[in-house]
Amino acid sequence: MPIEIERKFLVAKADWKLKINKETLIKQGYLSSKPERSVRVRIAGEKGIITIKGKTIKTTRAEYEYEIPLVDAINLMDLCEKPLIEKTRYNVLENGNLWEVDVFEGDNKGLTVAEIELESEEQEFVLPKWIGQEVSHENRYYNASLIKHPFITW
């Protein structure tokens, strides 16, 4: 079974901006946003993607992700729960690791979260100096939660 092992952190400083190697505009919506399973449709740049995720246990969950025709992703957005998530994802290489920094817009403007995907829950890594508090176990930072309780309402 494909799995995702991910840790999330708030971003404390803007130093990460000096190490950006890729930038992607993302619009995504949820066909299902239940904690035990979510089904997400994403438009990332010019790609359509559908993702099914299982319940998170510690920092691990099942994840199935497939590219779909862009026109299908655009049409599926109409079926998604509202509001949609809008963000820019920046890929940042730091200490030999790929970090994805999401800068949210719309109802989640002002929120910036950094994520790192790991090979195992025990994998060690060096935290960049621009990383702040870990929020891996705080559900409100999951994108599926942000559609129900946007950052602007906190």
Q: If 0-12 CB within 10 Å is exposed, 13-18 middle and 19+ buried, where does residue 129 land?
A: exposed
Q: Which of 30, 64, 90, 142 is catalytic?
A: 30
Q: What is the Cα–Cα distance from 48 to 76, expressed in whole angstroms?
A: 10
Catalytic, 30? Answer yes
Q: What is the Cα–Cα distance from 111 to 90, expressed in whole angstroms?
A: 14
3-state helix vs strand vs coil in the chain, percent to 5: 20, 50, 30
Task: Name the CA dihedral angle for 34, 90, 94, 66, rounded to a multiple of 10 degrees.
Answer: 50
Q: What is the Cα–Cα distance from 74 to 6, expressed in whole angstroms?
A: 27
- Catalogue the active-site residues: 30
